[in-house]
Structure 1
């Protein structure tokens, strides 16, 4: 099992499960992948760009309008180079935005501009996951060809027990290996 020569973009959104993205990044690098991270504004409330930069050994992308060192449009260059874009964790918000084609941050723009395989790893409260709108959005993304690594049953950050925990990192890595 190797990802040598593969470019994997890991999108991190605003969920307590964002800390588990660090383990995913570390595992992907260990498998030989070139990993670049897109950290959303809400994702940065849970983990830091410095942590992801240290683990990925690459600059972390966070802002649509950052002044580049070279002439390059980040969301397009990331979209073009990606073999896989994995959103770990994926909140109800990013799932909804992608389902309607809303491109208002670096992660959603990169995904919409990419021909790469897209892997969505949901993590949210059970009620949010079971909401009709979220279920519809997930079905819409599946119809676009996006792959899902289903969340798990267990204790959630809010103290509830139920479906909504981020899938184990080893399961996420297995799907990335398969899709890359």
Structure 2
């Protein structure tokens, strides 16, 4: 498969640490990876780690002079897939309701490529009717979902909400790219 352009969004949840492995796996598969992080994601994983793994500067701000047309325009242009891992309850809500209040959510609205979301949150959050409605809306809108999985959660309990492992997300990305 020829090199594809992947936009990797990372939201602010503890599962953000897995995004480093996903970024590395995508790059090792020969893809060009551009990382976009929310400010919350920086509380869990460093920008320098993701820049080193992707070989590209990480984008975080809606207003960035490196992108004269705006990062939401330039970063969404000609991408092959938009992957968000972890996709927190907040990100799912903003995407489902068309709220563009940061770079990641604005990119979602600008994007025309296939979207893969890897939810990650606590079991009670995942089980909330509002979260389930947002996921249903996103699926209706054409997004693909991988996970979440059942297992040990960071809140020290077993439940559903664990982000899928990077290898599983990579397999889903590869499938999406094969269809495009």
**Offset, 1:90:** 0.5
5+ residue gaps in structure 2? none
Query: How many pairs align?
Result: 177
**Offset, 1:44:** 0.7
5+ residue gaps in structure 1? none
**Residues 2-41 of structure 1 aligned to structure 2 (within 5 Å):** 2=1, 4-41=2-39
Distance (Å, rounded) in 2 between the aligned partners of 1:6 and 1:72: 22
Q: How far does the alpha carbon of each residue in 1:23-65 deviate from its partner, in whole angstroms, 9 at most, with x for none?
A: 0000000010000000100011101111000000001000111
Q: How far does the alpha carbon of each residue in 1:92-146 deviate from its partner, in whole angstroms, 9 at most, with x for none?
A: 0000000000011111111110111000000000000000000000000000000
Distance (Å, rounded) in 1 between the aligned partners of 2:105 and 2:30: 26
Q: Secondary structure at the match of 2:90?
A: helix
Instruction: Supply the RMSD in Å over aligned alpha carbons.
Output: 0.9
Distance (Å, rounded) in 2 between the aligned partners of 1:119 and 1:22: 17
Per the normalisation by structure 1, the TM-score is 0.96
Distance (Å, rounded) in 2 between the aligned partners of 1:97 and 1:71: 25
**Offset, 1:82:** 1.4
Matching residue of 2:127: 130
Aligned partners of 2:64 and 2:70 also within 8 Å: no
Matching residue of 1:119: 116
Aligned partners of 2:35 and 2:50 also within 8 Å: yes
Matching residue of 1:99: 96
Distance (Å, rounded) in 2 between the aligned partners of 1:116 and 1:50: 27
Establish whether residue 166 from structure 1 lines up as the match of residue 180 from structure 2.
no
Aligned to 1:53, which of 48, 51, 54?
A: 51
Aligned to 2:154, which of 154, 157, 167?
A: 157
Q: Secondary structure at the match of 1:153?
A: strand
Q: Secondary structure at the match of 1:61?
A: coil
Aligned to 1:89, which of 86, 91, 104?
A: 86
